[in-house]
Structure 1
Amino acid sequence: MQKMLLAICRMISWVQLVLLLTMLGVMASLVLTRYVFSYSPPWSEELTRFAMIWLVMLGGAVLSLFDDHITLTVFSDNFSPRFRILRNFAVRIIMIATSAVIVFKGIKFADGMSAVFAWGLQIHMGIPAYSVVVGFGLILLFNLVLLLSETMALFGIKTDLIPRQDQVMDGSFRTQDDL
């Protein structure tokens, strides 16, 4: 499981790199064409916007695997270990349920958006809409794995289901990682 999750996260990192480089290239060409030729390609801003949507959804999924979204830890740092475990279970269940609803509804929405075309790129709007389905599908999968891992740890079963965060990314938002 750990190798599969690591492969997924690394693939996401490569996709994000390509999207980021695409955004950089398109925006640089946009500046050049706007100020040198007084022309802005109509597709350039759409492409960067759609790439940013995919970047955010894929990045949010990876952050959910490592439980590393920006959070307020003032209160949870003072919880007892037992209460923290209960809190984590509640958070996982809420994330799984919410993600499942968003994936289910998002598929219907994205399919409906397939009939609408972006003005500049002339691609169907299902492409950016499916980023929500993919992102929350990954969040759903990752939270199921985290719930399984935490449940096994609760019963004293040692698991290595989750890869180490430093194998995928070089930083963390968690305060304990900064110490």
Structure 2
Amino acid sequence: MQLVLLLTMLSVMASLVFTRYLFSYSPPWSEELTRFAMIWLVMLGGGVLSLFEDHITLTVFSDNFSPKLKILRNFVVRIILIATSAVVVVKGIKFAEGMSGVFAWGLQIDMGLPAYSVVAGFGLTLVFNLILLVQDIGALFGAKLTLIPRQDQVMDGSFRTQDDL
């Protein structure tokens, strides 16, 4: 999905540059479509980052924690993320429903469509953190649960320094 959104953005912006300089014309829908695709990319990407715990993190203190304390820290962080994501999903649904019936000027699409990207992104974050919470609870009791694949099995690259070692 993210690749499709990225390719859509690339092709629309390339055609925008082409039409702007060749015909001195910019289709009014092109920038809206690119903006909406970017919003969806960011929100879905946030969900993926939460799945692989690859979001920006300050680890200066937690690197020195014992394994049990790291699990407890993860437990607290996941509870906060789950609660926050649940609130954003509920409020996001209400907001997106409120945007239904409002149409984008250039594309003439319902503005609920880009608004639901927040619900999708935080919904993924909620589900993924629930899965990771179950995995952490199992680790707290000594069980080695593998409920999600490792990041290197699914995608290339990471910004985490420990992955480069």
Q: TM-score per shorter chain, which class?
A: over 0.9
TM-score of the superposition, structure 2-length normalised?
0.97
Please state how far the C-alpha of 1:162 moved relative to its aligned partner. 1.2
Q: Percent identity?
A: 82
Task: Tell me which residue corresponds to 2:162.
Answer: 176
- Residue number among 114, 118, 135 corresponding to 2:121 in the alignment: 135
- Residue number among 48, 51, 76 corresponding to 2:37 in the alignment: 51
Are 1:98 and 2:84 counterparts?
yes
Equivalent position amino acid for 2:49 in 1: L
* Bigger shift: residues 128-137 or 73-82: 73-82
Please state how far the C-alpha of 1:73 moved relative to its aligned partner. 1.7
Task: Tell me which residue corresponds to 2:20.
Answer: 34
* Bigger shift: residues 73-82 or 18-27: 73-82
Equivalent position amino acid for 1:51 in 2: A
TM-score of the superposition, structure 1-length normalised?
0.89
Task: Tell me which residue corresponds to 1:125.
Answer: 111
Please state how far the C-alpha of 1:96 moved relative to its aligned partner. 0.3
RMSD, matched Cα: 0.9
Structure having greater relative contact order (Cα 8 Å, sep ≥ 6): 1
Report SS of the residue matched to 2:28.
coil
Are 1:78 and 2:64 counterparts?
yes
The one-character-per-residue Cα deviations of 1:74-104 (angstroms, maximum 9, x if unpaired) are: 2221223232122101100000000000000
Are 1:163 and 2:146 counterparts?
no
Gaps in structure 1 of 5+ consecutive residues: 1-14
Equivalent position amino acid for 1:108 in 2: K
Please state how far the C-alpha of 1:149 moved relative to its aligned partner. 0.5
Q: Distance in 2 between matches of 1:169 and 1:70?
A: 18
Gaps in structure 2 of 5+ consecutive residues: none
Q: Distance in 1 between matches of 2:58 and 2:17?
A: 39
